[in-house]
Amino acid sequence: MVRAYFPLLLLFGFVALNAGLILAIGALTVRSRPTPVKSQPYESGIAPLGDARERFSVKFYMVAMLFIIFDIETVFMIPWGVAFRQLSCAVALTPAGCPAGQVSFFGLSEMLVFIGILLVGFAYVWKKGALQWD
Amino acid sequence: MPLDLSVPASLVTALLPDLIVMGGAMALLLWGVWRPEGASGRPVGVGAIGVCLAALAAIAGMAVQGITAGPGPIAIDNFRWATDAVILVGTILSIALADDYGRRAEPVAVESHALTLLAASGMMLLAGARDLILVFLGIEVMSVAVYVLAGINRRSARSAEAALKYFLLGAFSTAFLLYGVALVYGATGATNLTAIGSALAASPPGPGSMAVIGLALMLVGFAFKVAAAPFHMWTPDVYDGAPTPFTAFMAAAVKAAAFASFARVFMEGFGPVFVRWHSVLWWLAALTMVLGNLIALSQRNLKRMLAYSSIAHAGYLLVALVTNTTEGAAAMVFYLFAYTLATVGAFAVVMALAEGAERPQDVREWSGLFSVRPLLAIAMAVFMLALLGFPLAGGMGFFAKWYLLQAALKAPAPQTRLAVLLVITSVISAGYYLYVIMVMFMRPRPADAAPFPDTPAWTRSVIVGAAVLLLALGLYPSPIVRWARSSSLQPTTATGVPSTPEALRITAR
């Protein structure tokens, strides 16, 4: 059982060795001659206009948070979709599909409940004005 | 009537009280946000209490019908109904307090009622969960709502601090719990408590190290939620900073739910390996009782004092858990009921005497309270004596401690030393409980003292109701005793598990 993980150990070792090697070659061979232009975050493109650490509106967080909620909804729907055929059948599926008279609405109703709960939250944030930008 | 929990429709029946609370919370959330701006929050509060009463009715109905079920993911037994009832009583009292709080201090949004109900639904799920996945789900539903409640006072920096501390530490402890669940699953191949119990009982040389480490990690997660020392550090800061109604909610309902699940998981799931967790819980109980009471002695801020008092009570309740007997579980239910009434009542008095905004309240500000507010002073005295476990004037509190001691001494492995420690630390606790009474009754009221605000109607009913119930059930405790006794939680035992103290000591090494 432990032996099965040996390739993983090899990979870790190789990655560590490789990273160390690259850093070591750089430290040994490179001569450092910094100029203001070289020290900029990007050596090409437009010159930076100001500090990157700016304050920005809290509204972005709100949008990001709401996005994650509905993103997660999709994440849950994909495995549900994969298992949907089995979930819609009260007995084990046969190669021909679900035996006659065994179709169940279990899978469908479970997902409808889940979406319904999310819709309650959606209605709440909408009414509360969280989707309004101004 | 036995239910087959593999059928979805029976699962819905089994979860009916929880579903009522969840659905009620969502309906109230929508209703609350659709109401006109500036309307009174009281109807929502009434609705929230109504939802709790409906759930209580459902519980009573199911308990009367004697519905049972096999070892499925949801327990249908009297232990679940009893702890659900304790949780719902705590929830109703906190909702009543929160409604008054929202009217006189900074406006607490209507959402707080919906969040309280959501937390209560998580607690009820936790109390009935017989599957580690459901335990995790219940803890999360409960905790996430309570994190928000701790910080619902948006304009108060202390409230925000409390919420952030609670959130970070709570998430950290949940990670411990989850890792423990994963390891236990890895060792036993099951998340169902019955299956875990039989898998652990079946392994002849005892559980492997994976199961024991998983057990230890789960213990950390639970000990954090019930605020047992040394996992109690968050309690005083969070209880102090959170708005008082939600502090009461945390001290009463969250603790009751966490203890219910703690007992079920350890007695039903890990009962066969009792020898492995017995001594750990023993030390946890001893340390919690001693630390909680000693630190409470030096507290003058009332909410912090009550926070340390709640830690001490977690220690007493852990004694019930260490017994690993049906009697211990029954004593725990009885104790939780008495403790819920007394602690919510005490926080209600603190809230009633705080002017408008939240600020730390010193005990000494209550000098001569009896001369200006005799009723509040008497009620607070009842709550303090109940928490102390004083006979007669302390009402149910005395019987709660009595049954706890009885369970500890009559267990197959008698916990004599813990019982002695319980009595000694209870005597120490008189140092701070009686101090409050002394200040209220024997100190003169300073002439330049600011007048106390009027007590709002709902807060007054909560205080009077809790005090009267404590006293009445202290005089006539038999119905609650019978009810607690019937809520037996059967610990799973394995053949060959030593039950005498000598055998315990030998195998525990």
B76-92: per-residue pLDDT in tens? 888 999 999 999 999 99
Is A78 part of any domain?
Answer: yes
What average pLDDT does the segment B268-293 reach?
A: 91
Enclosing H/E stretch for B423: helix B416-442
- Which residues in chain A are closer than 8 Å to B26, comparing Cβ atoms? 117, 120
Residue B501 has pLDDT above 70, yes or no: no
What domain range includes position A111?
59-128
Q: What angle do CA B278, B227, B141 make, to 5 degrees?
A: 105
Residue B500 has pLDDT above 50, yes or no: no
Q: A120: distance to nearest CA of chain B, Å? A: 7
Helix-helix angle B111-128:B78-104, to 10 degrees: 160
- Which residues in chain A are closer than 8 Å to B33, comparing Cβ atoms? 124, 127-128
Q: Which of B403, B372, B400 is nearest to B385 (CA)?
A: B400
Q: Which two tokens stand for residue B247?
A: 């502090």
How much is the pLDDT for A40?
Answer: 75
CB atoms within 10 A of CB B383: 28
**Under 8 Å between Cβ of B88 and B116:** no
Beta strand spans in B105-257 (E)? none
Average pLDDT value over all residues in chain B:
89
CA distance B391 to B430: 13
Q: Which of B418, B89, B94, B59 is nearest to B244 (CA)?
A: B94
Q: What angle do CA B473, B478, B484 make, to 5 degrees?
A: 95
ipTM of the complex in this document: 0.81
Residue B340 has pLDDT above 90, yes or no: yes
CB contact under 8 A, A128 and B29: no
**Under 8 Å between Cβ of B175 and B249:** no
CA distance B402 to B386: 12
What average pLDDT does the segment B215-222 reach?
A: 95
How much is the pLDDT for B235?
Answer: 95
Is A64 part of any domain?
Answer: yes
What average pLDDT does the segment B489-506 reach?
A: 53
Q: List residues of B whose CB lies inside 8 A of any A CB.
A: 8, 26, 29-30, 33-34
CB contact under 8 A, B33 and A106: no
- HSE-CB for B401 with a 13 A CA cutoff: 25
**Under 8 Å between Cβ of A120 and B30:** yes
Report how many domains make up chain A.
1
Is A75 part of any domain?
Answer: yes
Please give the distance of CA B167 from its chain centroid, rounded to a whole number: 18
Top residue of A108, A113, A127 to mutate, by most chain B CBs within 10 Å, is: A127
How much is the pLDDT for B229?
Answer: 86
What average pLDDT does the segment B365-371 reach?
A: 90
CA distance B447 to B437: 20
CA distance B318 to B73: 25
Is A24 part of any domain?
Answer: no
pLDDT band at A30 (very low <50, low <70, confident <90, very high): confident
What average pLDDT does the segment B60-84 reach?
A: 87
- Which residues in chain B are closer than 8 Å to A108, comparing Cβ atoms? none
Q: How many percent of chain B have pLDDT more than 90?
A: 63
Please give the distance of CA A15 from its chain centroid, rounded to a whole number: 25
Residues across chain B? 509
CA distance B227 to A70: 35
**Under 8 Å between Cβ of B278 and B504:** yes
CB contact under 8 A, A127 and B34: yes
Say whether B4 sits in a helix, a strand or coil. Answer: coil
Q: A48: distance to nearest CA of chain B, Å? A: 36
What average pLDDT does the segment A35-39 reach?
A: 79
CB contact under 8 A, B34 and A128: no
How much is the pLDDT for B131?
Answer: 93
What domain range includes position B182?
2-508
Q: Which two tokens stand for residue B323?
A: 């017994």
How much is the pLDDT for B497?
Answer: 45
Enclosing H/E stretch for B365: none
Is A123 part of any domain?
Answer: yes
What average pLDDT does the segment A3-11 reach?
A: 91
Q: B23: distance to nearest CA of chain A, Å? A: 9
Is A108 part of any domain?
Answer: yes
What average pLDDT does the segment B175-186 reach?
A: 95
For residue B136, what are the contacts with CB-CB under 8 A and spacing of at least 6?
A: B174, B177, B178, B181
Residue B505 has pLDDT above 90, yes or no: no
Residue A11 has pLDDT above 70, yes or no: yes
CA distance B168 to B240: 17
- Which residues in chain B are closer than 8 Å to A123, comparing Cβ atoms? 30
Q: Which two tokens stand for residue B370?
A: 């009896």
How much is the pLDDT for B4?
Answer: 79
What average pLDDT does the segment B192-200 reach?
A: 89
pLDDT band at B499 (very low <50, low <70, confident <90, very high): very low
Chain position carrying tokens 């560590």: A16
**Under 8 Å between Cβ of B387 and B313:** yes
Enclosing H/E stretch for B298: none
Chain position carrying tokens 């160390």: A20
Q: How many percent of chain A have pLDDT more than 90?
A: 32
CB contact under 8 A, B30 and A124: yes
pLDDT band at B494 (very low <50, low <70, confident <90, very high): low
CB contact under 8 A, A106 and B8: yes
Per-residue pLDDT tens digits for A116-132: 999 998 899 888 888 88
CA distance B351 to B81: 30
Phi/psi of residue B12, each to 5°? Answer: -60, -40
What average pLDDT does the segment B124-136 reach?
A: 94
Q: How many percent of chain B have pLDDT more than 70?
A: 94
- Which residues in chain B are closer than 8 Å to A106, comparing Cβ atoms? 8
B489 or A78: which leads in pLDDT: A78
Is A105 part of any domain?
Answer: yes
Class of residue A36 by CB neighbours under 10 A (exposed 0-12, middle 13-18, buried 19+): exposed
Residue A41 has pLDDT above 80, yes or no: no
Q: B273: distance to nearest CA of chain A, Å? A: 27
Phi/psi of residue B2, each to 5°? Answer: -80, 140
Report how many domains make up chain B.
1
